Structure formats: structure tokens, C-alpha cells
Amino acid sequence: MKKTVMFIMTAVMVFSLSGCGGKEENQGGKESLYADGLAVLNQVVKAYSEDELFAMYGGDQENAVMDAPGKFDISKTEELENVLGIPADQISNIEDAASMVHMMNANTFTGGVYRLKEGADMDAFADSAADCILAKQWICGQPDTLVIINVDGRYVIVAYGEAEIMEIFKNNALKALDGAQVMTEAPVA
């Protein structure tokens, strides 16, 4: 009897642990290839040629990483809104984030990737982010282009910046990320 109980408990533990770590399920129920938002941005950066790559920092201001994307602390809601352009009413839909920002000027390039919570409406999130960024008052020159990309139904990339840099970023993201599709591409006026 003890052996049977031990066997059942071991089997339950093995099956419960097999779901830990690594990949996430996307909104279609399929497994995502990406463990978190940072993995998504790192994959995009790997696609850059040496000539295309720019000086950047990643993450939130308190935990900034130089010359690479970084994990963004989603509890920093004011920074999510002010720096990355995510509207306050959408922050509760995010469970993970990462960012990369041009070192010279955030308006030259700012990009964030967000893993949405189960059941969050990706289209509503993208529309709200686009509305927020397009309505923003820019202090040091305005970016040219806004791009929002759906990555395998689980992650949303929101990026804005100078037209040429944005075109390179978009092309590298679409090339490097399985299941990536542009949801929005608009001039920032």
C-alpha cells in the first residue's frame, strides 16, 4: 500500500513539475517558444547585423542593463506609462515585460514586449497602446513610426521611433520570431 501511494505521489509530482519553467502557452492554447519578454527581445537583437545595431539600454530605470534589452519591473506602473507608453488601464493585463531604448533619445527608438495575462484581449491592448502613444505630447522631437507586433498570440511588441530604425526593427522581429505578425503600423503625427 505504501509503495502504491508513493508511486502515485511521485507520478503527480513529476507531472506537475513538467509544466514548470521554459515555455508559455499562447492564447490559442499552443505552447509559446519564448520563456518571457526578455527572450523575445533578445531573439530580435540577435537578428541585427553589426551595422544595424545601436547603443541601447534595457529594463526599468532602477535595474537598467547597458547594451542589451532588459527585464522591466511591471510594478513600476508610472514608468510603464511614461517611458514605454502603455496606458494605465492596460497595465493590469500584463504579467511580464522587457524593454530596449535607444541611448541617444527615447524618441529615436523605444520598444517594449509584454506577455499578456490569460484572457486579456490582445486587440484591445494593442489599440489602447496605439491610442496612448499617438496622442502623446513629445518634448524632444517626435518619433516617426509606431509598430505593434503580435508574437505567437502570447506576446505583444509595442515600439516607436525614427522611420529607418523602425523598419529595421520590424523586419528583424518578423524574421527572428516565429508567429510574429504586424497588428499596427502607423505614422506618429
**Predicted TM-score (pTM) of this structure:** 0.83
CA 83 vs. chain centroid, Å, equals 14
- Least confident among 43-57, 62-76, 132-146: 132-146
* Helix (H/G/I), strand (E/B), else coil: 125: helix
Quick one: pLDDT at residue 15? Answer: 33
Q: Is the pLDDT of residue 65 over 60?
A: yes
* CA gap 98, 107 in Å, rounded: 17
Mean pLDDT along residues 86-99: 96
Query: How far from each other are the two terminal CA atoms of the chain, in whole angstroms?
Result: 72
Lookup: cell for 95: 504579467
DSSP annotation of 92 reads G
* CA gap 163, 179 in Å, rounded: 23
The angle that helices 163-176 and 37-46 make with each other, rounded to 10 degrees, is 110
Higher pLDDT, 32 or 124: 124
CA 65 vs. chain centroid, Å, equals 16
Mean pLDDT along residues 13-30: 41
Quick one: pLDDT at residue 189? Answer: 75
- Least confident among 24-28, 49-53, 59-63, 175-179: 24-28
Are 110 and 159 in contact, with CB atoms under 8 Å apart? yes
Mean pLDDT along residues 27-47: 85
pLDDT, tens digit, for every residue of 128-178? 999 999 988 877 778 999 999 999 999 999 999 999 999 999 999 999 998
* CA gap 165, 33 in Å, rounded: 26
Are 131 and 95 in contact, with CB atoms under 8 Å apart? no
